[in-house]
Amino acid sequence: MIIVMKPQAKKQDVDHIIQIIEAKGLTAHLSVGSEVTIIGVVGDKSHLNDSNLEIANGVDKIIPVTESYKLANKKFHPDPTSVRVGSTEIGPRNLTLMSGPCAIESEEQLLATAKAVKAAGANILRGGAYKPRTSPYSFQGLEEEGLRYMKTAREETGLAVVCEVTSAKAIEAAVKYVDMLQIGARNMQNFELLKEAGKTNLPVLLKRGLSSTIDEWLNAAEYIIAEGNYNVVLCERGIRTYETATRNTLDLSAVPVIRTKTHLPIVVDPSHATGVRAYVAPLAKAAVAAGADGLMIETHPCPEHALSDGPQSLTFEQFEELCKELKPYAALAGRVF
Amino acid sequence: MIIVMKPQAKKQDVDHIIQIIEAKGLTAHLSVGSEVTIIGVVGDKSHLNDSNLEIANGVDKIIPVTESYKLANKKFHPDPTSVRVGSTEIGPRNLTLMSGPCAIESEEQLLATAKAVKAAGANILRGGAYKPRTSPYSFQGLEEEGLRYMKTAREETGLAVVCEVTSAKAIEAAVKYVDMLQIGARNMQNFELLKEAGKTNLPVLLKRGLSSTIDEWLNAAEYIIAEGNYNVVLCERGIRTYETATRNTLDLSAVPVIRTKTHLPIVVDPSHATGVRAYVAPLAKAAVAAGADGLMIETHPCPEHALSDGPQSLTFEQFEELCKELKPYAALAGRVF
Amino acid sequence: MIIVMKPQAKKQDVDHIIQIIEAKGLTAHLSVGSEVTIIGVVGDKSHLNDSNLEIANGVDKIIPVTESYKLANKKFHPDPTSVRVGSTEIGPRNLTLMSGPCAIESEEQLLATAKAVKAAGANILRGGAYKPRTSPYSFQGLEEEGLRYMKTAREETGLAVVCEVTSAKAIEAAVKYVDMLQIGARNMQNFELLKEAGKTNLPVLLKRGLSSTIDEWLNAAEYIIAEGNYNVVLCERGIRTYETATRNTLDLSAVPVIRTKTHLPIVVDPSHATGVRAYVAPLAKAAVAAGADGLMIETHPCPEHALSDGPQSLTFEQFEELCKELKPYAALAGRVF
Amino acid sequence: MIIVMKPQAKKQDVDHIIQIIEAKGLTAHLSVGSEVTIIGVVGDKSHLNDSNLEIANGVDKIIPVTESYKLANKKFHPDPTSVRVGSTEIGPRNLTLMSGPCAIESEEQLLATAKAVKAAGANILRGGAYKPRTSPYSFQGLEEEGLRYMKTAREETGLAVVCEVTSAKAIEAAVKYVDMLQIGARNMQNFELLKEAGKTNLPVLLKRGLSSTIDEWLNAAEYIIAEGNYNVVLCERGIRTYETATRNTLDLSAVPVIRTKTHLPIVVDPSHATGVRAYVAPLAKAAVAAGADGLMIETHPCPEHALSDGPQSLTFEQFEELCKELKPYAALAGRVF
């Protein structure tokens, strides 16, 4: 942590800061420049967490130097983490393909989709039973009934299944049926939910918040890990920008950035990011080329009749075609697919 | 709802769309232009909610014309709503001043603050007992103990009290102690929490999400109202932009925009928006000049030692000074303060 | 300037950095922490401008401590600058009101507007002769003919006149006719244009770029001042965000931020920021309450027939009404209006 | 164009709008709904360009249906354009690789780089002679001297050369030396510069503005084409968002979006987008996978000593390595490289 003093700071201001630092058992390093004085703080800065030094007399600003997430931090865990989900593993050796409908609408729809995506090459079935929708008048999901269909689909296909959870109650239900919990973008900083997910021993797919920085995302992962659950997989799904040609702006640079900051795996969801079917395939290939550990792709037996997010869903034929196209990209990336 | 066809759409594509519309009991109005054909849909569009017409053959895009929120919509409720909170009222007649510490740290701190802000002119005491913090290692709040202090503060000062809730469990506890529930920015689209808040009969202060559009914000309010609770007060607290000179960018234009779209009251929180004490007073005055129904301002007996958000808190003296400065602005706005 | 080393940096990496710093005649201050080592650099950092230390072995990141703008910096020029424009002065003593049409369409239109805004209380007439329009097929302005009308309007009303310039050629023409040059948002980082404006001795109104940080804005001002022209007035006109309810998001917090960073005056343009007539008056009052030195407001004899930006223009009656409403706000701010 | 009336609009308001439309020789199609009335306008909407119908009585909003760019629009030119630059061609058949230093520093530096990038597989040499820098105190480029070195480099290597131009004067100089003009992000809406570039017969590389929508970008291209110069190549180089882990956020979804909207080729610049050397290679591969027609990559003989943007430049070895890695991606995309 670095404390930058104002040009007009007095000697007594600087002395006062140094006293506070030393009183907390830390060491202060002083650099007196021609324009400004800066104070470097050495030691465990968590002791200063609540000191609000930025409003002490003479202080211009505080610049943090180290990240607040530790368990998710690559600095302290340099080797990449592989997360086991059912019979598959998300990590550096594989290209994991998660697919299925945005919302579970019926047992038939889900089973048909499960079989189709399995046949095409998917490893994990996704499907929403609890849908966070902007308007209260949109379809909100089948809830526990949907979870039961997920379990059936797993039994019939052998696919691992992942489902979004939106409340402590939903987690309580989901742990009985699914292999992986998903925390959606709108709940990325629903810290109570993160803690509940951390208390389960299920792997967690943590989507990036609509306007979350990568640091906030990793701090959200830290909430889960801090409860003892290291099985966190990150999912980039587009961020909110001024551009309206796509629903969100897929931030593929997050993939190499995440690689330098954390040991956790990262998958990419081009379906939600763009909201447009025609853009899914090119960006899926791009995600693999950028180094992603997996993809989440929406499919639907009949997108025109989907109750949620139809315009971005692939048909089974389109999904099968995409899987074929992805094979050489997975091979170039040295991943099993 | 307007359906814009692609230039190369065929007659059978257009006919197909018209069939779908009419099958749902709606009327289609066709405009055949030199470049494109557009189809206006007349009737209750909720019947088409899940039709995914945008991926039907020949369709270029769908343009919604009416808002999805109804109960929060000024079009159907032209008169401004006043929301009663304890013995005060938030609405067009008053300038409501909510103040207190970001986080409740102790009974002494809270009582001292309550008395100081009451003496200076505040109507409502704010204080956080459940703190959503970016890092799991930051102070997370006193929880129910903090709520008890709020109740004591109310009894000792007569101030109404508002407290943020972050889970169904927190709501359950809070209804026993406080006059108003606050939904924070990070939970604005935590729809399960909105529904729970809607089921209480307490007024709800709904902060705008960090990157929420005004339409999404009003849809979030709709979630609360749809449960039968019309006592919603909106709170603008800054949005996320690329600018880093302030913590967020206070969107004061939201005040006049909200006036044209909804009957609900709106208050402004310049403390969280800027994160900098020196910017609070000028923006508080600006908010009143822009037409806000109230302000939420952080105060702390000793900001330098606050456990949360100290840099943006006012001292008691600064708060008293601000109240004096606000009086003529309230008078110009025709509001009692 | 602070250099943060990577946790795994070797002693020889640190020594290498220190050598570079000292070779440039600067001093290095070393703080060795438990996690990271940081090096504070004392002396004239411009010597290191092109050293690209961030890619030297072992370096994690470089954190600048001092601003790159000097002449615009309040640290070195604490007293507020007043800028004389014709017979008026923009600065802390006055509330300056600039008004007129977005685009000059005819002599009659401009003269009628000049007389109306003068009568209502404006000090400076604005009007666009060179219009930067998104589409090449939109009206591009009357160019030099428009400038001549500006001069006539000045002679007939005594108002100072300001006109946007979009090229070196336009500056060459404008200096013959107007009292102040305006650099538009889209040209804020057209550095060649800034230099040309700096070479004239006319005051310059520098609009903030659509997505410019406050630091970039002040660096743009520095380009003008570095040519010897200190007469720069900043104009906040809304920034680009994800919100679409207004054309741009007016960043009123820029007003107090600018006060802490520079001695230059700042005016606010709520017309372009919002793009909606109904939002202009509340935000104009808010801007004055926030401490702005002036306002730029679009007026038009008949906004419905304006060739550019009609929807945000006030009629003469609306402008007159606004001027009346602004008077008590100017008085509260201690400004002559 | 669609005109949406307010719910409370009167019949006479609607009649008035219809009169205006018909007076301009256009046709109005009326759809009277239960909540709102909408009017579709059929015919050449440019006649209405300056009508400002949105402020006519009873009008709620105007929704444009067709794009304002025509010559750049794929609807009217469905076949992809190939742009010849020197002896190479940018378009659907090739993967074009542009490389070189951000700023030209000396003849030696440029020639060494030209030879290295040519040997590795680049087709076009890039190099900045006019540098738009945020601060006036940063290196501004060698100007015409730099252009001369570019010409020498072309003669010695046979590479085509591209150079950024920042003013009409720079264009005048550049046309004597280079094969392609570059318009930088900060000048994307410097419309005078676009017109000047359009008047030359050189191909133009048009970088996307820092906060430009894709529609604004294509309108900027339209400015160039409208002058008779169809040889426009678009370059995605990152947009400004709230995320600070990368300098800008590379918007790779722009590649498939551009494909659906225009016939012009698009290249991607991961160097400027990220500002970090380690992120260049993964995003270069991703860009090719997403369908880009080419890449612009910064290289420098010794990035640590570069006068501009060193941290994002590749060394010659890194560039050669990247070229090898790109080959199979180009092959998968069906492009010659």
Structure confidence by residue, pLDDT tens digits, B112-148: 999 999 999 999 999 999 999 898 988 889 999 999 9
B117 lies in a domain? yes
Quick one: average pLDDT of B201-228? 96
Please report where in the chains the tokens 């630092």 appear, as a residue: A21
ipTM above 0.95, yes or no: no
3-state secondary structure (DSSP) of residue C85: strand
- Distance from C-alpha of B217 to C-alpha of B205, rounded to nearest angstrom: 12
Same domain, yes or no, for C135 and C201? yes
Spell out the alpha helix ranges (H) of B2-73. Answer: 11-23
Q: H or E element: which one contains A163? A: strand A160-164
Residue B235 has pLDDT above 70, yes or no: yes
Closest of B125, B95, B71 to residue B263, by C-alpha: B71
Query: Which band of pLDDT confidence, cut at 50, 70 and 90, is reported for residue C49?
Result: low
Radius of gyration of chain C (CA): 23
Work out whether strand C59-63 and strand D204-207 pair parallel, antiparallel, or are unpaired. Answer: unpaired
The secondary structure of residue C207, as a DSSP letter, is E
Instruction: Tell whether B150 and B288 lie within a shared domain.
Output: yes
Inform me whether the pLDDT recorded for D133 exceeds 70.
yes
The helix (run of H) or strand (run of E) holding residue C325 is helix C316-332
Task: Provide the 10 A C-beta neighbour count for residue D79.
Answer: 8
Tell me the helix, strand and coil percentages in chain B, rounded to 5.
Answer: 40, 20, 40
Give a yes or no: residue B78 inside a domain.
Answer: no
Say which amino acid occupies D245. A
Same domain, C240 and C307: yes
What is the CATH classification number for the domain harbouring A277?
Answer: 3.20.20.70
Q: Do A8 and A133 reside in the same domain of the chain?
A: no
C264 Rama sector, left if φ>0, alpha if ψ -120 to 50, beta otherwise: beta
Q: Judge whether residue D49 has pLDDT over 70.
A: no
| Cβ count near B93 (within 10 Å) | 13
Considering the domain architecture, whether residues A57 and A119 belong to the same structural domain is answered as no
D181 within a domain of the structure (yes/no): yes
**Sign of the dihedral defined by the CA atoms of residues D217, D194, D134, D302, in that order:** positive
Interface contacts (A, B; CB < 8 Å): 126
Scanning the structure block, which residue is given the tokens 């008691």? B316
Q: What's CA D55's distance to the chain center, in Å?
A: 34
Nearest to A266, CA basis, from A154, A98, A108 = A98
Bridge pairing between strands B88-90 and B83-85? antiparallel
Closest CA to B143 of A50, A223, A191: A191
Widest pairwise Cα distance in chain C: 75
pTM for the model stands at 0.94
My answer on whether B140 and B261 are in the same domain is: yes
Give the residue ranges of DSSP H helices in chain B. Answer: 11-23, 107-120, 144-157, 168-174, 191-199, 214-225, 254-261, 270-274, 277-290, 316-332
CB contact under 8 A, C2 and A63: yes
In a domain, C325, yes or no: yes
Q: Which residues of D touch B (CB under 8 A)?
A: 2, 4, 7, 29-36, 38, 40, 42-44, 63, 65-66, 75, 211, 240-242, 244
Return the residue in D252, D261, D322, D335 with the most chain A beta carbons within 10 A, the one to mutate for interface testing: D252
**Residue B185's closest chain A neighbor by CA?**
A189
- Nearest chain C residue to A40 by CA distance is C31
Residue identified by tokens 């409208």 is D226
Q: Which among C212, C240, C252 is the top mutation candidate for probing chain B, defined by the most B β-carbons within 10 Å of its own β-carbon?
A: C252
**Distance in angstroms (rounded) separating the CA atoms of residues D179 and D163:** 8
Provide the residue range defining the domain that includes A56. Answer: 2-63
Q: Which residue has the tokens 């939970």?
A: B187
Question: Helices (H), strands (E): how many in chain B?
Answer: 10, 14
Least confident of B14-18, B97-101, D35-39, D66-70: D35-39
pLDDT tops 80 at residue B50: no
Q: Can you tell me which residue has the tokens 């264009």?
A: D171
Residue D126 has pLDDT above 90, yes or no: yes
Residues paired with A268 in a beta bridge: A236, A295
Q: Is A11 exposed, middle or buried (0-12, 13-18, 19+ CB in 10 A)?
A: exposed
- Strand order from edge to edge, sheet including A27-32: A27-32, A37-42, A2-5, A59-63
Q: Do B2 and B40 touch, CB atoms closer than 8 A?
A: yes
Sign of torsion, CA B271 B273 B275 B280? negative
Whole-number Cα distances in Å, D104 to C191, D174, D296: 19, 14, 16
Q: How far apart are CA B16 and CA B300, in angstroms?
A: 64
What is the Cα–Cα distance from B58 to B60, expressed in whole angstroms? 6
Helix (H) or strand (E) holding A290: helix A277-290
CB C265 within 8 A of CB C82: yes
Binding partners of A (≥3 Cβ pairs within 8 A): B, C, D
Interface touch D286/A290, C-beta < 8 Å: yes
pLDDT for position C2: 83
Cβ neighbours of residue A149 under 8 Å, at least 6 residues apart?
A: A104, A106, A107, A110, A111, A127, A142
Average pLDDT, chain B: 93
- CA R_g for chain B: 23
Compute the distance between CA of residue D250 and CA of residue A165 in angstroms, rounded to an integer: 31
B234 in Cβ contact with B208 (< 8 Å): yes
Find all residues with CB under 8 Å of A23, minimum gap 6, and list them. Answer: none
Tokens of B20: 């779908």
Enumerate residues 6+ apart whose C-beta is below 8 A from B324: none
CB C131 within 8 Å of CB D215: no
Closest chain C CA to residue D136? C223
Residue C184: other Cβ atoms inside 10 A = 24
D78 domain residue, yes or no? no
Contacts of A33 (CB under 8 A, 6+ apart): C40, C41, C42, C43, C65
Which residue numbers of B have CB closer than 8 Å to C's CBs?
A: 211, 213-215, 239, 241-246, 249-257, 260-261, 273-274, 278-279, 282-283, 285-291, 328-329, 332
- Is A225 domain-assigned? yes
The mean pLDDT of D41-70, rounded to a whole number, is: 80
Q: Are C66 and C45 in contact (CB under 8 A)?
A: yes
Q: Do A279 and D288 touch (CB under 8 A)?
A: no
| Mean pLDDT within D26-51 | 78
Question: Side-chain half-sphere of B242: how many Cα atoms within 13 Å?
Answer: 24
Residues in chain B, overall count: 337
pLDDT of B84 > 70? The answer is yes
Residue C8 has pLDDT above 70, yes or no: yes
Number of folded domains that form chain A:
2
Residues of D within 8 A of C305 (CB-CB) are 50-52
Across the interface, whether the CB atoms of C139 and D52 are under 8 A apart is answered no
The answer to whether the CB of B158 falls within 8 A of the CB of B119 is: no
The answer to which of A49-53, A141-145, C272-276, C288-292 has the lowest mean pLDDT is A49-53
- Report CA-CA distances (Å) from D304 to A42, A98, C17, D104, D309: 29, 42, 12, 15, 10
C279 shares a domain with C207: yes
How close B335 gets to chain A, by Cα (Å)?
34
How many Cβ atoms are within 10 Å of D132's Cβ, its own excluded? Answer: 18
C interface with B, Cβ–Cβ below 8 Å: 211, 213-215, 239, 241-246, 249-257, 260-261, 273-274, 278-279, 282-283, 285-291, 328-329, 332
In whole angstroms, how far apart are CA D162 and each of D82, D83, D234, D310? 17, 13, 14, 19
Stated as kind and residue range, the H or E segment containing C147 is helix C144-157
**Rounded-to-integer distance, Cα C286 and Cα C295, Å:** 11
Nearest to C52 among D51, D240, D305 (CB): D305
Kindly report the CATH number assigned to the domain that includes residue C14.
3.30.70.1140
Whether D260 is covered by a domain: the verdict is yes
Q: Cα(B318)–Cα(B19) distance, rounded to whole angstroms?
A: 66
Q: Answer whether B252 sits within 8 Å of C252, measured CB to CB.
A: yes
Please report whether residue D178 resides in a domain.
Answer: yes
Q: Is it the case that residue D50 has pLDDT exceeding 80? A: no
Check D134 against C305: CB less than 8 A apart: no
Mean pLDDT of A268-296: 97
A33 with A176, same domain: the answer is no
Same domain, C11 and C153: no
Please tell me whether residues D36 and D125 are part of one structural domain.
no
Neighboring chain B residues of D211 at a CB cutoff of 8 Å:
242
Per-residue pLDDT reduced to its tens digit, C283-326: 999 999 999 999 999 999 988 888 888 889 999 999 999 999 99
Could you tell me if D26 and D149 lie in one domain? no
From the list A7, A43, A75, the residue facing C7 with the nearest CB is A75
- Rounded Cα–Cα distance for residues C5 and B141 (Å): 35
Q: Is the pLDDT score of B110 beyond 80?
A: yes
Span of A251-265, A322-336, C13-27, D275-289 with lowest mean pLDDT? C13-27
Asked whether the CA dihedral D289, D290, D294, D298 is positive or negative, the reply is negative
Q: What is the mean pLDDT of residues B1-6?
A: 85
Nearest to D290 by CA among A247, A309, A329, A312: A329
The residues facing D294 across adjacent strands are D96, D267
What distance in Å separates the CA atoms of residue C219 and residue C68, rounded to the nearest whole number?
Answer: 7
| pLDDT value for A49 | 64
- Is residue C116 domain-shared with residue C188, that is, in the same domain? yes
pLDDT for D240-286, tens place per residue? 999 999 999 999 999 999 999 999 999 999 999 999 999 999 999 99
